[in-house]
Structure 1
Amino acid sequence: MNRILKSRAFKTTVIAAAVMGVAGVAQARDQIRIVGSSTVYPFASYVTEEFGAVTSYPTPVIESTGSGGGIRLFCNGVGEGTPDITNASRRIKSSELERCAENGVTDVTEVKIGSDGIVFAQSSTNAGMDLTLEQLFLAVAAQVPVDGELVDNPYAKWSDIDASLPDREISVYGPPSTSGTRDAFEELVMEAVSEEMEAYGGEGYTEIRADGAYIDAGENDNLIVQRLTEDTDSFGIFGYSFLVENANSLSASHIDGVEATPEAISAGDYPIARSLFFYVKNQHAEEVPPLYEYVDMFVSETMIGEGGYLTDIGLIPLPEAEREMARERVAQRGTLQVADL
């Protein structure tokens, strides 16, 4: 399965940039164009390859651009040079949907496909590590409270934060600012912790340190995985599915005493859990006939249900009622409104 998935990812990525850069007026075509989240990418890649194999349509073109980058491309307008679908590892923002509308993208359907956890992982050659959300925040925040005052982060080693932690330098490979994983990490870790700290005045603080302890590793989570196998003293931040794919070489820290498991993530017990989405540009449906056929395949029980194909590669299924709601929203071509966000 892993070899097939890597082959699919390579094939779809190498042709994506050339196709997605073509601008022009809308015209009929039978190849779907998809951009967006690197976390959702493995799941969408599986569906695109299956779609190409079992239908008469060509395999959709898919590019991993990050959630923010994908939504930006998606919202650029309607027409040949813009994508039909964008994947996202966090919900679209009201400001982004407003920009869509300003550019003529006025009929968008939101589809929730499953749950995911953000893991804080390292090489499995190391002893496991338990962290609190606060310790994780103190490791990566640009400014932290010391004696009641905010100062530039002075922590060079994990043991500087807490003597019970390893005497290892803080080195974290993480996603860039365009990533949905970064957005979710900032919300679920940075904001959640800082809002409870008096030094921040009750407001969420999300600035990541830029002194070399946090390394922007780009949108490709597989590169973070590769670096952790080479740099065994470092940690990485990425989606749970990449941990599943590399369980033989990586292990994830427990957060607030909770292990990242499908059950804990689905139940909301794991502190850094989030939902996964994709967004459909309904205004392209007439000119791109296979669009809804692909969407129907993606939300089918065969793909996202309990025991579905995508669970084999790390997708955590939604409860049955939520899966049915997703299919109903697709069937009705429900239009997302700013008021819904």
Structure 2
Amino acid sequence: MSDSQQEIWPKVTVAIVNWNGERFLDRCLSALLAQTVMPHEIILVDNASTDASIEIVRRFSSVRLLAQNENLGFAHGNNLAIKAADVESEWIALLNPDAFPKPRWLEKLLSAVRDYPEFDVFGSKLLAAADPDVLDGAGDAYHMSGLVWRMGHGVPVSSFPEQVREVFSPCAAAALYRRSALVKMGGFDENFFCYVEDVDLGFRLRLAGYRCIYVPDSVAYHIGSGTTGGKHNNFTVYHGHRNLVWTYVKNMPGILFWLLLPLHLALNLVTIIWFSMHGQGLVILRAKRDALRGISRIWGMRRNIQKHRTASIGEIWNVLDKRFLPRWLQIRRIIS
């Protein structure tokens, strides 16, 4: 019997939200069922797929299928899975259907839970599925302007540090969350539908005193935007850039909100110019227009979030990326 089989591991529910991901599901679910530490349960929320997704899921008898009548989005779908998880599961692992975990993915996350008990959120190393020598992401960064990106995205694996380290938030394509923390924060913001919702959740968790660590030994191959048509189509541009504004307005605490607001406004101006120059002026303007239309509702949410904030301004300032010119070069990767 292996060491991983002998150890008593905490129970984990793995949640997958799928929409028309039939070309990925067999590989994703097969990889989950080949883990050295098996999940307590696997819940797949299908958002009214019109392809053969449901037929594929039904081939895996151990997967609990929650089929929806409409596309509820990534945020709402994950919230459904979190609420439906067995009460015995102390942890919730999120996995995208276009993410394919290596056999020790979950074991390494749970080993980190054991070794770093002061952390409540754990992010995996994502490798580009098309070229495993290239990183897809090593945790999410949040710039003081409100710009977000996956650290290491697109760089050779060999050139990126391998150490366990604290990060702002995980990419929810493959991540582990303490269930009680998710419940306390109310899960994902369903107004976001999809994109940047994991960074928003990560920010709210930070404000509440929870911390996130990157676990490089926990590895998954990731395609990225596999079911939404690519990282720079109109759908991803619209949701990503609308949600960037809402994430900043909701979460940037206290005096930092006002001090950094000029940078955030500059970020939005730069993105409008950049996407307009690349033929997507109408969609980026619609994203910013709708972001502004939602400000009243988002500001109301901000009041509640900041009222219950336990992290100090200094603690939040310390985890923001404060580099300026190098990070403005990341504009093209805002929603990658």
TM-score normalised to structure 1 length = 0.24
Structure with more of its chain in helix, by fraction? 2
TM-score normalised to structure 2 length = 0.24
* Higher RCO (CA 8 Å, separation ≥ 6 residues): 1
